Chains A and B, each alone.
Chain A
Amino acid sequence: AQTVTQSQPEMSVQEAETVTLSCTYDTSESDYYLFWYKQPPSRQMILVIRQEAYKQQNATENRFSVNFQKAAKSFSLKISDSQLGDAAMYFCAYGDNYGQNFVFGPGTRLSVLP
């Protein structure tokens, strides 16, 4: 069974600075998807970024980028120029080759300090 680990329960970053959230996963599959979801206090799940495992190029989405290391099974999220609105829980998630059968990590709570 697939597992997702986020080793940082809490992180903080100064506004306008850069922060990296860690995620590791375990799977025996070669094709799969990885996602980062943001959950603000409203508790809605918002997709931040996704990565297809067959793509070597790291995904980027404006201020958000990932460092995908397939061999190491690592998928970290970098947030550049952090803003107060970035404060939230961030969940790393694994989806199988069909984008289904999601497994979520335990989450990292990110605080942004003014």
Chain B
Amino acid sequence: EPEVTQTPSHQVTQMGQEVILRCVPISNHLYFYWYRQILGQKVEFLVSFYNNEISEKSEIFDDQFSVERPDGSNFTLKIRSTKLEDSAMYFCATIRTSGIAGEQYFGPGTRLTVT
């Protein structure tokens, strides 16, 4: 069964450093998402991406965050200058198309630890 993959599984970085989290969507999926889950809290929507541009973003997704699909396969989330509060699990999710397809496929997540 096709699946969404994410790398790395765990990233440790120092405060102020830039990190790039990578996601490889399922090949025929067109919509991509990033979510964040701070330890012990609920999953929060960050951003959605379609047709090479952001379609929606939350208040969390400020100027420190950016997304792109640099090579037509990887979907990346960049945090320019990490803060302690960015420590969380980051999930990529993809969906084939809008409408009755209905469900998002989640990757296994990247655990980001900012020290």
Which A residues contact B (CB, under 8 angstroms)? 33, 35, 37, 42-47, 50, 52, 91, 93, 95, 97-107
Judging by beta carbons under 8 Å apart, are A33 and B103 in contact?
yes
Q: How many Å from the CB of A43 to the closest CB on chain B?
A: 6
Judging by beta carbons under 8 Å apart, are B48 and A95 in contact?
no
Judging by beta carbons under 8 Å apart, are A52 and B48 in contact?
no
Cα separation A52 to B103 with both chains bound (whole Å)? 10
Stretch at the interface among B16-24, B64-72, B77-85, B93-101: B93-101
What DSSP secondary structure best describes chain B's contact surface?
Answer: strand
What is the interface residue range for chain B against chain A? 20 to 34
Which B residues contact A (CB, under 8 angstroms)? 31, 33, 35, 37, 41-45, 48, 56, 89, 91, 93, 95, 98-106, 108-109, 111
Judging by beta carbons under 8 Å apart, are B43 and A100 in contact?
no
Judging by beta carbons under 8 Å apart, are B109 and A44 in contact?
yes
Judging by beta carbons under 8 Å apart, are B109 and A43 in contact?
yes
Q: How many Å from the CB of A23 to the closest CB on chain B?
A: 12
